[in-house]
Each structure stands twice: as C-alpha cells, then as structure tokens.
Amino acid sequence: MTEQLNPWVIVSSLGKDTSDQDLERIVPKIQSLVDNWQESGKIMWSGSFNNQPSSMAVFEATDEEAKRFYKEYSDACENLLVHYLYQWEAMPILSVLSN
C-alpha cells in the first residue's frame, strides 16, 4: 500500500535583516530544490505575492516527502527567510492535474 499524497504549502517571507546579497546567495539553492522536485515528475507551483517579500510554494507529497523537502528548504534558506509548512486540505486540484 502506498502512502497517501496530500497537498502542502510553504509560505515564506524575507527576514528583517535579509540583504540583497543574502538573497543572491540562497535563491540558486532554492531554485535547485524546486527544479529537482519537478524533474522527478512531481508538481510544484511557486511564486511571490504582490508585496514581493513573501512567497508561496504549493506541492503534493506524502508526509515524509513533505517533511524532507521542508528540511532541505530550511537548510537552503540559511535562516534568512521566515517560512512555515502547512498541510492544505482544500487543494485536491493537484491530484487532478497530475493524472
């Protein structure tokens, strides 16, 4: 029996003291994580909100996959982004789109 996929969201915002140089250092790491996720055949939607310092990534994963991805994301952020992982019960659309 395979573990159930659930929709997840990571919401991020710039830390108070995050500089442009800090962002230049971490953005490639985060982009690489997203690229690797998508190259493995999984869907992830991500982007910034209108206020630019905040962003969101929505993806579908097992509990274990989501926690592992969040750990990698946290490491890549180097404490420069304030970020949270939530399970999002209201997003079954990713399952529909992946079929």
For 14-70, the pLDDT digits (tens) are 998 999 899 999 999 999 999 999 999 998 988 888 767 888 999 999 999 999 999
pLDDT band at residue 92 under the 50/70/90 scheme:
low
Domains with residue ranges and CATH for the chain: 6-98 (3.30.70.1060)
3-state secondary structure of 96: helix
pLDDT band at residue 1 under the 50/70/90 scheme:
low
Q: How far is CA 89 from CA 13, 30, 46, in A?
A: 22, 25, 18
Q: What is the pLDDT of residue 65?
A: 95
Rounded to an integer, the average pLDDT of 87-95 is: 62
**Model-wide pTM > 0.85:** no
